[in-house]
Amino acid sequence: MELNRKQFDILSTLATEKDRLSQRSLEEKCGHSLGTINRILKELAQQGLVADGRITPAGLNALEPYRAKKAIFIAAGFGSRLVPITLNTPKPLVRVNGKRIIDTLIDACLEAGISEIYIVRGYLAEQFDQLLYKYPMIKFLENPAYNEANNISSAMVARYLLQNAYVLEADLLCSNPAIITKYHYCSNYLGIKKERSDDWCFTLKDGYISSWGVGGLNCYQEVGISYWNESDGHKLAGHLRDCYEAPGGKERYWDYPALSEYRDQYRIEVRECKQEDIVEIDTFQELKRIDKTYDI
């Protein structure tokens, strides 16, 4: 069955909280008024999706089309800004305070119940095999064009896997695994709210991404983690191919088709996260600040 947004908000909250929640707690977590919570709970109870304030097996079934089922990691690049560390080690495998960067994201995905995990690799590809000791469920996808094209080449390799899937840049250090969530009502990007940004950022109109570019005011700074629902994932496969094969297409970022060229065909939200939730370590100097063992 198809859920409306308020039904989804309440059901997904009940599904991911271990303790029984009061209506007041649901009000705080969902952002809907107490009156709305009360009304929607009655609707859900009548449909057999909620009973005694808890989600039922039928409720979990209703959430299944909204569940994140896959995670695709873009990990093929060289990581030139982290030289000299990346001369011998792909950036996602660099250890920060004893833990590989990519592990922080894989662990967050597993915690959210996502066990179908793909890693698109290229530079020093064989080194990623070490992940199989800890994560035997990983499947690798090879990007033979990583050295001659932008990361759109990695998305091309994985383009038929994008339905109900996270796409994650594999060089992000995650300190809050809760930013990877189990259920999604629609496609979305993680973003950090900023009064001013000189980085890639989004602006919104009617709750959806309306523009994307470098620098902005009162915007959301892009975090390289997105989620694509089933219909958008299907569309994106074709749009990626069309952009990649167009003149200059190999130089594009992988998210150019949905955020720019074909933006009017997508309704993409921003899920807000905090600056401290996730860090992209851009330079060796930043790495030394975060992990003092490199400062020698």
Residues 31-64 pLDDT 10s: 898 899 999 999 999 999 999 888 999 999 999 9
Q: Where are the domains of the chain?
A: 5-65, 67-294
Determine the Cα–Cα distance for residues 185 and 192; give it in Å rounded to an integer: 20
Note the pLDDT of residue 173: 95
Mean pLDDT of 121-125: 96
The CATH code belonging to domain 5-65 is 1.10.10.10
How many angstroms separate the CA atoms of 240 and 162, rounded?
11
198 three-class SS? strand
Q: State the burial class of residue 286 (Cβ atoms within 10 Å of its Cβ: 0-12, 13-18, 19+).
A: middle
Instruction: Reply yes or no on whether the pLDDT at 158 is more than 90.
Output: yes
Q: Is the pLDDT of residue 9 over 80?
A: yes
Q: What is the pLDDT of residue 21?
A: 81
Q: What is the pTM of this model?
A: 0.94
Tens digits of residue pLDDT in 266-282 = 999 999 999 999 988 88
Which among 153, 154, 156 has a CA at the least distance from the CA of 250?
A: 153
> 67-294 maps to which CATH number?
3.90.550.10
Cα–Cα distance for residue pair 197/210, rounded to 1 Å = 17
Quick check: 25 pLDDT over 90?
A: no
Would you say the C-alpha torsion 172, 174, 178, 179 has a positive or negative sign? negative
